[in-house]
Amino acid sequence: MSKLVRFGVSIDSMLIEKFDGSIARKGYNNRSEAIRDMIRKSLVEEEWEEGRGETVGTITLVYDHHTRELESHLTELQHKCIKLVVSSLHVHLDEHNCLEVLVVKGNSREIKTIADGLIGTRGVKHGKLTMTTTGKNLV
Amino acid sequence: MSKLVRFGVSIDSMLIEKFDGSIARKGYNNRSEAIRDMIRKSLVEEEWEEGRGETVGTITLVYDHHTRELESHLTELQHKCIKLVVSSLHVHLDEHNCLEVLVVKGNSREIKTIADGLIGTRGVKHGKLTMTTTGKNLV
Amino acid sequence: MSKLVRFGVSIDSMLIEKFDGSIARKGYNNRSEAIRDMIRKSLVEEEWEEGRGETVGTITLVYDHHTRELESHLTELQHKCIKLVVSSLHVHLDEHNCLEVLVVKGNSREIKTIADGLIGTRGVKHGKLTMTTTGKNLV
Amino acid sequence: MSKLVRFGVSIDSMLIEKFDGSIARKGYNNRSEAIRDMIRKSLVEEEWEEGRGETVGTITLVYDHHTRELESHLTELQHKCIKLVVSSLHVHLDEHNCLEVLVVKGNSREIKTIADGLIGTRGVKHGKLTMTTTGKNLV
């Protein structure tokens, strides 16, 4: 079982002073939380680099819904990968532009492939894959 | 009014061959679409670097919803920036872990500040700001 | 043998106008060169992601040369990887701080390992691996 | 004057275990050094984002030295910014390809402008700006 432990960090007084200023600007209340966040961030990066195990990402797409057959094409692509796409959110940015965010879960290589396919679809103006985590092993 | 135009690119035959292979692996059907995507991507990056005008982003958060008062705290933070947060999507990853994606619209500096605040909240295991676009000036 | 070819890109007039403004700000004289640069950049990224074949990088280190035994330790590490390190440049930034740039050539995984080792050395204040290319297949 | 201090970090036992594995793979001998490195890295990123004060970078260029007038053109560009370019290293990668690394020091906006100019020069196959630090305020 997991439990809370404590460890010490030795550091130059000038460096910790600069760090305190930086995390205050980012809205942190204490150093421990800021350092745990840096630790988790580096673990998530390593997880995606190594590409093993199940992970989670979001795919963000901006497109003009007037583009002929674009929506049906995107839907079709998502259904081909039905096991990866967990959920999606659609936002009407203006009369023409839509933003769609898909939450995807699976192997990182598979996620990258479906993201490439969606982002490369004609009519998608901007697309991006954001790599995050299942949270399972990150207490 | 905008209309379709055509321009020529002179390129070494070996380089275009390698490019054709690369975009095929990414699922593109033709070079024009791949090149338009690269152009739009670089314009979106420039827009965020310069930080002027209205833009759009998504903030992805993974957290354990059992963390005491985390959800109410995140909700409160979002309500303080009610003008920025357009919409949000919540996914139950497992018994403990949730993923939340917020769509935010506004000035890029303001978006960065709210993202820092949310990502730095105690109990958020991983958070990321994804910079995209209103799509307005990107035909 | 490689030779110069030409292909056409169809694009919306508003999009190419914005692109022309952007590349002018970056100092490009013509679109073809800007587009070739984007193509080569994406090929170099793909090369590093896939991690096969020989590639080239630079490792940038900033450190205080007064740190006890740091220089000899860095030298030792470099000699262990003598086949990877092609050359290095040393700059005295001020009385205390040095910047060292190593040019490394080899498999991308091996390059990442030596970079991790050098950047993680006690006394190195900041370090970074920059991924570039042998240029061989990039006309 | 700066002196060594010590502070405690409270953390879940499972998270620190995963972190210990990760830093061991990266060649760190102790947690304090790994955490100081993460702190310094985030401070350098903030410094470049805000763009004030003097900073240091390296510009990496790969090019074919047979390209007509390229070398003289690159040299000319560097001399126009003689106050920024501290030093440079030239490596012959093969019969055709050269790698050049410039160490630049100055305001981050000025450094970005000269980097754009050099990277955008016709004949430069790949170029990149690496943002590092003077080391002055990073103990």
The token pair at C115 is 């970079």
**Chain B residue whose CA is closest to A54:** B93
Beta bridge partners of residue C55, listed in sequence order: C106
Residue B131, SS3? Answer: strand
**Rounded CA gap, A93 and B135, in Å?**
8
Q: Alpha carbon of C26 to those of A135, B13, D131: distances in Å?
A: 41, 26, 18
pLDDT for D4 beyond 70? yes
Report the DSSP pairing between strands C85-92 and D85-92. Answer: unpaired
**Residue (of B84, B7, C48, C63) closest to D40 by Cα position:** C63
* CB pairs < 8 Å spanning A and B: 142
User: Tell me, what's the pLDDT at B40?
Assistant: 93
**Rounded CA gap, A53 and A44, in Å?**
12
Tell me the CA end-to-end span of chain C in Å, nearest whole number: 11
Q: Does B134 touch chain A (CB under 8 A)?
A: yes
Residues of chain B with Cβ-Cβ distance to A56 below 8 Å are 62, 93, 99
Q: Does B2 touch chain C (CB under 8 A)?
A: yes
Q: List, in sequence order, every beta strand (DSSP E) within chain C.
A: 4-12, 54-64, 85-92, 97-107, 124-131
Q: What is the dihedral of CA D34, D40, D46, D48, to 10 degrees?
A: -120
Closest approach of chain D CAs to the CA of A18, in angstroms? 8
Which pTM does this prediction carry? 0.83
Closest approach of chain B CAs to the CA of C37, in angstroms? 11
Beta bridge partners of residue B10, listed in sequence order: C6
Count of CB atoms situated within 10 Å of the CB of B112: 18
**Chain A residue whose CA is closest to B117:** A27
- Of A71-75, A119-123, C98-102, where does the model show the most confidence? C98-102
The token pair at A119 is 């982002």
Instruction: Give mean pLDDT, residues A121-133.
Output: 92
User: Tell me, what's the pLDDT at B83?
Assistant: 86
**Rounded CA gap, A45 and C73, in Å?**
28
User: Tell me, what's the pLDDT at B11?
Assistant: 92
Backbone φ and ψ of D110, nearest 5°:
-65, -40
The token pair at B49 is 């670097």
Residue D19, SS3? Answer: helix
pLDDT for C97 beyond 80? yes
Q: Does B128 touch chain A (CB under 8 A)?
A: yes
Residue D120 to residue C96, Cβ atoms within 8 A: no
**Residue (of C137, C124, C128, C122) closest to C55 by Cα position:** C137
Instruction: Give mean pLDDT, residues A47-76.
Output: 87
Q: Does D2 touch chain A (CB under 8 A)?
A: yes
Lowest model confidence (mean pLDDT) among C15-19, C76-80, C104-108, D55-59: C76-80
Closest approach of chain D CAs to the CA of A79, in angstroms? 36
Report the 3 state secondary structure along chain B.
CCCEEEEEEEEEHHHHHHHHHHHHHCCCCCHHHHHHHHHHHHHHHHHHHHCCCEEEEEEEEEEECCCCCHHHHHHHHHHHCCCCEEEEEEEECCCCEEEEEEEEEEEHHHHHHHHHHHHCCCCEEEEEEEECCCCCCCC
Model pLDDT for residues A40-50, shown as the tens digit of each residue: 999 998 888 87
- DSSP letter at D134 equals -
User: Tell me, what's the pLDDT at B72?
Assistant: 87
The residue with greater pLDDT, C1 or D59, is D59
**Rounded CA gap, B89 and B76, in Å?**
16
**Rounded CA gap, C56 and C48, in Å?**
10
Q: Does D42 touch chain C (CB under 8 A)?
A: no
Low-confidence stretches of chain B (pLDDT beneath 50):
none
Lowest model confidence (mean pLDDT) among C115-124, D69-78, D118-127: D69-78
Residues of chain B with Cβ-Cβ distance to C48 below 8 Å are none
Confidence of residue A103 (pLDDT cuts 50, 70, 90): very high
Residues of chain D with Cβ-Cβ distance to A6 below 8 Å are 8-11
pLDDT for D1 beyond 70? no
Average pLDDT of chain D is 90
**Rounded CA gap, C3 and B15, in Å?**
10
User: Tell me, what's the pLDDT at D103?
Assistant: 95
Residue A101 to residue B105, Cβ atoms within 8 A: no
Backbone φ and ψ of A136, nearest 5°:
-60, -45
Q: Which of residues 47-86 of D touch C (CB under 8 A)?
A: 56, 58, 60, 62-64, 86
Q: Alpha carbon of C22 to those of B48, B134, C19, C29, C31: distances in Å?
A: 13, 18, 5, 11, 11
The closest CB to that of B60, out of A26, A40, A58, belongs to A58
User: Tell me, what's the pLDDT at C51?
Assistant: 76
The single-letter code of the amino acid at A75 is T
Q: Does D18 touch chain A (CB under 8 A)?
A: yes
Model pLDDT for residues D103-115, shown as the tens digit of each residue: 999 998 889 999 9
pLDDT for A61 beyond 90? yes
The closest CB to that of C89, out of D37, D44, D89, belongs to D89
Residue B36 to residue C15, Cβ atoms within 8 A: yes
The single-letter code of the amino acid at A61 is L
Q: Does A22 touch chain B (CB under 8 A)?
A: no
A neighbours by CB contacts (3+ pairs under 8 Å): B, D
User: Tell me, what's the pLDDT at B2?
Assistant: 73
Confidence of residue C1 (pLDDT cuts 50, 70, 90): low
